[in-house]
Amino acid sequence: MKNLETVIAAIQYIETHLSNEKIDLDVVAAAVHYSKYHLHRIFTDTVGLTIHDYAQRRQLTEAAKMLVFSDKPIIDIAILAGYDSQQGFSNVFKAMYKQSPHQFRKNEVFYPLQLEYNFKDQRESLENARKNSTREIRFAGEADIPLWMDLVRLAIDGFPCLEEEEHLTVLKRYIANRGALLITEGGIYIGGMMINYETGSIDFLAVHPLYRKQGISRDFLQVALTELLKNKEISITTFREGDKADTGYRKALKELGFAEGELLTEFGYPTQRMVLPRENKND
């Protein structure tokens, strides 16, 4: 758990220095009194993002919030997000949000690019999970909703335009239809999946950041293939190729055997449908 404690300390430093500061590896390493080379390695290995990428995504999220919920001039928001110029901020913002800051403000719809990786409140549960590694996959019930939503917030980087209240409404419907599945370990909700039995689509697939290298998505897919969607073509939507907002979701799906389908636009965001070829269903 020592590595996790160091990562938590680095995240806490980043979270308290999001405004009006440039956050880089050297600064964070000095703040947590750790070698920058080792910090880079354990941070990236633990959460799947570099310190630069995590800090940038968090600062852009806070900037997006200010664009919608404040009257601050865009140049002031750019400076608060750690940029020297409005143009530099606008270029990065558009690459991530697919809209200019001006357009985003005009649309008045906020969604987070990245929420805080809050692992400090899960220390005890993570310790228990290490000691008791038994995993359980089961259908979600109403009582699971609060911890399901905590998982959603940790995995929000994979779901552009996700709005919590709308997701909650949809989740309740999937729970009622036995279409929402969970994987838990030692009290930690490490994965959640919503499937549509009629279309064969996986409409939501989230994995806890600390468990993304442990085959959780493959475990879900195996259950879908062998028990729930035996005679259906399985599909899922994800980021388009080259989308800078993608933290690895597209690559992970291709590694699972999904092939590229048609290009889509969902909630105004460019995505792509991915399909699991029939010959892969017995792998």
| Signed CA dihedral, 152, 154, 158, 162: sign only | positive
pLDDT higher than 70, residue 131? no
Looking at domain 2-107, does it have CATH number 1.10.10.60? yes
Residue ranges, CATH 1.10.10.60, the chain: 2-107
DSSP helix/strand/coil, 225? helix
Convert the pLDDT of each residue in 199-249 to its tens digit: 889 999 999 999 998 999 999 998 888 777 777 789 999 999 999 999 999
Over 70: is that where the pLDDT of 281 sits?
A: no
| Mean of per-residue pLDDT scores for the chain | 92
Specify the CATH class of 133-280 in words: alpha beta
266 band by pLDDT with thresholds 50, 70 and 90: very high
Is the pTM value of this prediction over 0.85?
yes
Neighbours of 280 (CB within 10 A): 15
Half-sphere exposure of 161 (CA within 13 A, CB side): 14
Q: Would strands 201-207 and 188-196 be described as parallel, antiparallel, or unpaired?
A: antiparallel
pLDDT-derived band of residue 263, with 50, 70 and 90 as boundaries? Answer: very high
DSSP assignment, residue 167?
Answer: H
According to CATH, where is 3.40.630.30 located in the chain? Answer: 133-280
Report the C-alpha gap between 47 and 155 in whole angstroms: 11
How does pLDDT run across 35-94, given as a tens digit for each residue?
999 999 999 999 999 999 999 999 999 999 999 999 999 999 999 999 999 999 999 999
CA distance 60 to 105: 13
